[in-house]
Structure 1
Amino acid sequence: MTKTTQTLPAETGGTEITRFNALRHGVLSGYTVLPWESTDEYRAVVEALVAEHGPLGPTEEHLVEEIAGIFWRKRRLRLAEAAAHRRGLEGTLASYRETVKVALVHLDTSGQSERVVDAIRATVADTQEDMTDMAADETMTRDALELLSSKRNDAYEAALAALRQDTQTWWADTLAGDPDELADGKEPATADVEGLRYFLEGEVLPWFENRQKELANRPLIREQAFGDALDPNKLERLGRYEVHLDRKLERMLTMLLRLKDLRRNVIES
């Protein structure tokens, strides 16, 4: 450590601060920053603390370095906490049907459980976009139903053309289904006005109703899923470690501020 860095003024420019830190924290950063972590991000933390405290002498520099290390470990703790949540969430999603059932116990959850992953990942904007898309799809479906009720000779063809592509594909798959796999009492679909009407009213419109419930309750599904994913036993040790870091940070800051006060009093006297 050079004499220049030990006598660096508290008020200094950004270029000088950067040069000062490049000399000063090069050794300790090798022990603080893990191989897969960003040295540049750690350097930014140190430089910000140097700019704030303007340490003079090896003792103050050491205290600033210690504080930087605490900040860095607290950052690492946040990453570990997030990883623990994700690990728990991975296990939760394996049984996501139960998650949605619990979250929406007051609703009819039929047909909704397979969308829990979307509910967790979706933003507010995503949900609004999905609701707009669903409303447009439902409008097209109801327009098709009106065509089926018309007196047109080509009512079936016109109604089919009025449906959105994914609904048309759903209908085509229904027509191509194996009759032997149908539920008891259910007749095979027929490619005519009545067959398409039965499909739209019995399958598609109920899907819209369930989809609307799912979209409206996405925040509740997210809350339930993340709550299920939290494992207090795994996070307890992380919490204790954070308390330890907080106490150490308080001690380091107290020592640094006292040294700065002593230095200021000496200069003033």
Structure 2
Amino acid sequence: MPDLLTATPEEITEQQREAEIDLAATRKAASILRRGGEKAYGKARRALLADSRDCWDDHVEENNYPATAEGLAHYIRETLEPICYSMEFEARSQPAIKAQTLGEGLQAHKLEKLNRYETHLDRKFERTLAMLLKMKELRTKP
């Protein structure tokens, strides 16, 4: 989160570009697997970015998925695509998230009505408290 607040517009643009590239590579790999063919698994694996490929290899080593075209297709559909969509959405939404976090999204004029009610309730509470103190004073006098 701190890097979200301190990111420059250039860094935000770069993150958006990287997220789009990652999503495009993932879609390309999924497309290769849908077309099938003799070397579809190898081509699709090479189409993934290095980080995604490393993550896939880790899943294969941990026996989460078989090292097959079907296993890779399942991995892309169930794990990688949702992550890529999420990263792309976050990168695209970063300026709005930053503005909201810094309070620029807060519309103070909408709080005016609440402020009036707060003032009204404060006055009412003060009157009630004063009345209770007077009643207590009357009760203690013989």
Question: Could you list the per-position Cα deviations for residues 82-137 of structure 1 after superposition, in whole angstroms to 9, with x for gaps in the alignment?
Answer: xxxxxxxxxxxxxxxxxxxxxxxxxxxxxxxxxx2331121111111111122122
Alpha-carbon distance in 2 for matches of 1:138, 1:217: 16
Alpha-carbon distance in 1 for matches of 2:21, 2:93: 20
Q: Sort the Cα spacing of 1:120 and 1:145 in 2 relative to 1 into closer, same or farther, 3 A.
A: same
Aligned-residue sequence identity (percent) comes to 26
**1:216 corresponding residue in structure 2:** 92
Q: Which runs of 5+ in 2 are unaligned?
A: 104-142
**2:79 corresponding residue in structure 1:** 203
Match of 1:138 among 16, 20, 23: 23
Question: Could you list the per-position Cα deviations for residues 166-219 of structure 1 after superposition, in whole angstroms to 9, with x for gaps in the alignment?
Answer: 110111111223x6xxxxxxxx21110111001111111111221122122223
Alpha-carbon distance in 2 for matches of 1:222, 1:151: 43
Does 1:158 pair with 2:34?
Answer: no
**1:194 corresponding residue in structure 2:** 70
Q: Sort the Cα spacing of 1:160 and 1:118 in 2 relative to 1 into closer, same or farther, 3 A.
A: same
Q: CA deviation at 1:226?
A: 4.3
The answer to which structure has the higher helix fraction is 2
Q: Sort the Cα spacing of 1:211 and 1:167 in 2 relative to 1 into closer, same or farther, 3 A.
A: same
Q: Sort the Cα spacing of 1:117 and 1:175 in 2 relative to 1 into closer, same or farther, 3 A.
A: farther
Question: Could you list the per-position Cα deviations for residues 1-20 of structure 1 after superposition, in whole angstroms to 9, with x for gaps in the alignment?
Answer: xxxxxxxxxxxxxxxxxxxx
Alpha-carbon distance in 2 for matches of 1:212, 1:150: 25
Letter in 2 for 1:148: L
Q: CA deviation at 1:159?
A: 0.7
Letter in 1 for 2:94: R
Alpha-carbon distance in 2 for matches of 1:225, 1:173: 36
Q: Sort the Cα spacing of 1:201 and 1:151 in 2 relative to 1 into closer, same or farther, 3 A.
A: closer
Alpha-carbon distance in 2 for matches of 1:137, 1:205: 9
The alignment's TM-score, normalised by the length of structure 2, stands at 0.64
Give the CA RMSD over aligned residues. 1.9
Q: Which runs of 5+ in 1 are unaligned?
A: 1-115, 180-187, 228-269
**2:23, 2:88 within 8 Å by CA — same for their partners in 1?**
no
Runs of 4+ aligned structure 1 residues displaced above 3 Å come to 223-227
Q: Sort the Cα spacing of 1:202 and 1:136 in 2 relative to 1 into closer, same or farther, 3 A.
A: same
**2:2 corresponding residue in structure 1:** 117
Letter in 2 for 1:214: E
